[in-house]
């Protein structure tokens, strides 16, 4: 091994490897990580590194004992959209009902209208603004769903913008087509017609243009039934696109079980998930993506079945659900705090939830852990333990970020 | 009026004056503010400013329509302390009970121990770190309580450090002596002896050294009774120091009524406040300081009586309660969001709660509103309405801060 500008040894870090198969953050005290050509080449202790690489005179940086984690992964967002629904938030606080607001053109319909009206440039500018907030949480991979366009043009425009975000910032973007998010106004009296459109026109076209890494749906009384979602999933399977599902958020329709039967990457929300659904997810290898931001903003009281998920070994991921209506949360760090306070997950579980489990929820095997051969997406923090990320609220603990081996944010202490 | 380097005209701002007596943020659309010698000299519309100051060729900056508010005031914090209680948070999430943690030396006792052991330099460094996080919320005045030392030396050291923070950052600090926070270990079997100590030794000495702008207590089953608090208040009154009280957080002991009967500046927490207490506060001119961060971290379900406070015209302030145990909240902006989501206050109420009402809770008449003669403590935001501060979570909306007329943070858009 020779010293090269694309090689860097990080030493004296508390390395949270989040290694596979473990139930905690798998810390290496006084750990070291060798980065080479954008990948993690070697992981061990600083003492081992000293003897292993003594002859190599590698560029070496001390992390001064601080916590080094995989770059964080926000595996469920709706980051690209038009418009602003803050006014509805204020109206509700001033006593207007959801119904009054909806009758006045508010709710998801208003986001659809504003998103359809927005140019790709406008969508890009507002998305970059939100993404910049998210990057402050040490995020190196973000999933972004469509679903505020619903028509083919707007959905394709949103997914294209999502893909292009990575040309402007150090971020990997996983895109998800969420046509089955809501019934668009032009199909108000023709549910079947809209599902036909998604299945026969939109999804094949989106797939053909390579715009979606996954297909998602919203299975709920106010959205789509399991039968309707099953049609979308069958098409996705035929096209070879992985699936995900918004399931059991407001009621238990058995969406998670359906998703698991299709081998879904993840089922998301899950407040009303029952043991049958948990077992199905365990068998299907489906990750549980919990979204405490939406739980918080909607003032929900029913929590996802964390104990059952643990008992059955279902991996738990945590995400912001960043969206204009029910979760305008721009910080994955704040979301990690909420996962502890509101869902009573432990800091170790939460760290795994935004690294290894989040990578699994996106079907990405090349990241989410600190181990040889994976991408050198790393984050360094102003703390020495996972709880230091999760306990305070409103702090800014991210000190440095490496994206595919390049230091793209902050500096070493 | 002549142009001078200490004169500046801000134009094209959405000015939230938070003027006295109103129930909303009192917006001036396309507003203008003239700053002179560290004070607000004139407030009006940009059109009026153009005709009024046409001859003066004043240095003028456009705020591009963005929201200009008084600098924010965090009127209840415990920002100076030693130690770190994050480990207890993790232990509780891993299933340990409060009792087990307390038996192992955790809880407030651990903060007292760590604070007593910390030098003034250590206390200053950690406090500056927390203060820097808080300043990102556009805070220009912060209240800081003692209460983690309990013995005279440590209480005085903490209050001295709190006072000196303003030598290192652009911040006004209001200090509060909170000797009656908890019973220190050396008085475990002598409650009366500790109250004697506070009343006869600590408080007179603290007053004599000019270390406290107010005196506070914690009136609760697990802390001090109304009778014990009354003794502290009588002494404070004799010494001419304004009072405040932690009251009705976990039960209704009538602390707010007691505080109001002494003309307290504020009663704080108030989840269990009843109408009798609300009426007493209205009559006593006592501000209700609500602390959603502690409510959130403690997973409380009983909310303060917001409707009653409104009905009786009690001013409502909002604060972080930044402390090591029950509210490690470092963002007043996040706290404003919680006040909306958890307590269902409106964004206008919340903005008044961190400006004019917070100033009143500290007895400060020279700030908290944008009107002529007051300090030119101002904050400019990346939004055009108060709801834009309160709706998203985990964003960083503060664009510029003026402290006594000096631009100390950010820049104009």
Span B229-268, pLDDT tens digits: 999 999 999 999 999 999 999 999 999 999 999 999 999 9
Q: What is the dihedral of CA B325, B328, B334, B339, to 10 degrees?
A: 10
Is A329 within 8 Å of B393 when comparing Cβ atoms? yes
Instruction: Give pLDDT, residue A201.
Output: 98
- Which helix or strand (DSSP H or E) is residue B113 part of? helix B108-117
Distance between CA atoms of B113 and B324, rounded to whole angstroms? 13
Reading phi first (left if > 0) and then psi (alpha if -120 to 50, else beta), residue A377 is in: beta
Q: What are phi and psi of A111, to 5 degrees?
A: -65, -40
Residue A179's pLDDT band, with cuts at 50, 70 and 90, is: very high
Give all domains of chain A, ordered by start, each with its CATH number.
7-70+369-410 (2.30.40.10), 72-361 (3.20.20.140)
Is residue B74 over pLDDT 60? yes
pLDDT of B162-207, one tens digit each? 999 999 999 999 999 999 999 999 999 999 999 999 999 999 999 9
End-to-end alpha carbon distance in chain B = 27
What's chain B's average pLDDT? 95
Residue in B94, B296, B344 closest to A93 by CB: B344
Average pLDDT over residues B146-156: 98
Average pLDDT over residues B53-76: 95
Q: Are strands B172-180 and B139-145 parallel, antiparallel or unpaired?
A: parallel
Residue A413's pLDDT band, with cuts at 50, 70 and 90, is: low
Distance from CA of A174 to the nearest CA of B (A): 22
Q: How much of chain B, in percent, has pLDDT values that exceed 90?
A: 92
Average pLDDT over residues B383-411: 96
Contact by Cβ (8 Å): B194, B157: no
Pick from B336, B394, B413 the residue to mutate for testing the A interface (most A CBs within 10 Å): B394
ipTM over 0.90: yes
Pick from A394, A395, A397 the residue to mutate for testing the B interface (most B CBs within 10 Å): A394
Is residue B3 over pLDDT 60? no
Distance between CA atoms of B108 and B131, rounded to whole angstroms? 21
Q: Which chain B residues touch A if contact means CB-CB below 8 Å?
A: 86-87, 89-90, 93-94, 133, 136-137, 293, 296-297, 299, 320, 328-331, 333-335, 340-341, 344-347, 385, 387-388, 390-396
Is residue B2 over pLDDT 70? no
pLDDT of A355-404, one tens digit each? 999 999 999 999 999 999 999 999 999 999 999 999 999 999 999 999 99
End-to-end alpha carbon distance in chain A = 27
Is residue A130 over pLDDT 60? yes
Residue in A296, A328, A345 closest to B391 by CB: A328
Is residue B342 over pLDDT 70? yes
Residues of B whose CB is below 8 A from A139: none
Average pLDDT over residues B300-319: 97
Asked which of A14-18, A93-97, A248-252 is least confident by mean pLDDT, the reply is A93-97
Contact by Cβ (8 Å): A217, A266: no
Is residue B5 over pLDDT 60? no
The size of the A-B interface in CB pairs under 8 A is: 98
What's chain A's average pLDDT? 95
Is B133 within 8 Å of A329 when comparing Cβ atoms? no
Is residue B361 over pLDDT 50? yes
Q: Which two tokens stand for residue B209?
A: 């050294």
Is A93 within 8 Å of B333 when comparing Cβ atoms? no
Distance between CA atoms of A343 and B187, rounded to whole angstroms? 38
Instruction: Give pLDDT, residue B4.
Output: 46
pTM of the model: 0.97
Distance from CA of B385 to the nearest CA of A (A): 9
Which chain A residue shows the shortest CA-CA distance from B335?
A394
Pick from B336, B393, B396, B413 the residue to mutate for testing the A interface (most A CBs within 10 Å): B393
Which chain B residue shows the shortest CA-CA distance from A91?
B346
pLDDT of B109-147, one tens digit each? 899 999 999 999 999 999 999 999 999 999 999 999 999
Contact by Cβ (8 Å): B53, B369: no
Is A387 within 8 Å of B90 when comparing Cβ atoms? yes
Instruction: Give pLDDT, residue B23.
Output: 73
Please return the burial class of B233, using the count of CB atoms within 10 Å of its CB with bins 0-12, 13-18 and 19+. buried
Is residue A3 over pLDDT 80? no
Which chain A residue shows the shortest CA-CA distance from B340?
A93
Starting from the edge strand earliest in sequence, which strands make up the sheet with B139-145, in order?
B72-74, B139-145, B172-180, B214-219, B244-247, B266-269, B287-290, B316-318
Is residue B290 over pLDDT 90? yes
Average pLDDT over residues B314-343: 98
Please list the residues that pair with B74 across neighbouring strands: B142
Contact by Cβ (8 Å): A97, A44: no
| Most confidently predicted of A7-21, A50-64, B317-331 | B317-331
Is residue B1 over pLDDT 60? no
Contact by Cβ (8 Å): B220, B242: no
Distance between CA atoms of A380 and A63, rounded to whole angstroms? 8
Residue A107's pLDDT band, with cuts at 50, 70 and 90, is: confident
Asked which of A51-55, B36-40, B77-81, B298-302 is least confident by mean pLDDT, the reply is A51-55
Residue in A331, A335, A346 closest to B94 by CB: A346
Is residue B319 over pLDDT 90? yes
Is A86 within 8 Å of B329 when comparing Cβ atoms? no
Residues of B whose CB is below 8 A from A347: 89-90, 93
Distance from CA of A392 to the nearest CA of B (A): 5
How many CB atoms lie under 10 A from the CB of residue B189? 7
Average pLDDT over residues A84-111: 89
Q: How much of chain A, in percent, has pLDDT values that exceed 70?
A: 98
CB contact burial A222-255 (16+ within 10 A = b; e otherwise): ebbbbebbbbbbebbeeeebbbbbbbbbbebbbb
Instruction: Give pLDDT, residue B100.
Output: 86
Residue B56's pLDDT band, with cuts at 50, 70 and 90, is: confident
Residue A4's pLDDT band, with cuts at 50, 70 and 90, is: very low
Is A89 within 8 Å of B328 when comparing Cβ atoms? no
Task: State the Rg of chain A over Cα.
Answer: 21
């Amino acid at each position: 091994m020779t010293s090269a500008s694309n090689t860097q040894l990080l030493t004296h870090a508390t390395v949270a490897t989040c290694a596979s198969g473990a139930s905690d953050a798998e810390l290496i005290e006084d750990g070291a990580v060798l980065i080479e050509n954008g990948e993690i080449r070697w992981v061990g202790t600083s003492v081992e590194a000293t003897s292993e690489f003594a002859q190599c005179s590698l560029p070496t940086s001390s992390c001064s004992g601080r916590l080094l984690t995989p770059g964080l992964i926000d595996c469920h967002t709706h980051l690209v959209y038009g418009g602003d629904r803050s006014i509805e938030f204020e109206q509700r606080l001033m006593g207007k009902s959801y119904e009054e607001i909806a009758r006045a053109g508010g709710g998801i319909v208003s986001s659809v209208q504003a998103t359809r009206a927005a140019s790709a440039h406008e969508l890009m500018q507002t998305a970059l603004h939100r993404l910049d907030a998210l990057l402050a949480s040490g995020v190196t991979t973000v999933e972004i769903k469509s679903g505020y366009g619903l028509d083919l043009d707007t959905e394709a425009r949103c997914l294209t913008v999502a893909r292009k975000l990575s040309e402007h910032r150090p971020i990997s973007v996983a895109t998800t087509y969420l046509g089955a998010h809501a019934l668009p106004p032009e199909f108000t009296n023709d549910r079947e017609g809209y599902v036909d459109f998604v299945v026969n026109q939109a999804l094949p076209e989106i797939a053909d243009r390579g715009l979606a890494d996954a297909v998602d749906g919203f299975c709920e009384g106010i959205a789509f039934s399991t039968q309707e979602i099953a049609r979308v999933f069958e098409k996705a399977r035929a096209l070879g696109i992985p699936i995900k599902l918004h399931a059991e958020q407001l009621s238990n329709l058995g969406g998670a079980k359906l998703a698991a039967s299709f081998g879904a990457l993840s089922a998301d929300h899950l407040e009303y998930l029952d043991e049958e659904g948990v077992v199905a997810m365990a068998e299907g290898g489906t990750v549980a993506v919990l979204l405490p931001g939406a739980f918080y903003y909607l003032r929900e009281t029913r929590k996802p079945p964390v104990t059952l998920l643990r008992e059955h070994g279902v991996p738990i991921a945590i995400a912001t659900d960043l969206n204009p209506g029910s979760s305008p949360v721009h910080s994955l760090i704040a979301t990690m705090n909420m996962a502890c306070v509101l869902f009573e997950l432990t800091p170790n579980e939460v760290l795994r939830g935004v690294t290894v489990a989040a990578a699994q929820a996106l079907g990405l095997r090349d990241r989410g852990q600190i181990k040889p051969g994976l991408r050198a997406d790393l984050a360094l923090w102003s703390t020495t333990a996972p709880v230091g990320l999760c306990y305070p609220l409103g702090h800014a603990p991210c000190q440095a970020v490496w994206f595919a081996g390049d230091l793209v944010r902050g500096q070493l202490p």
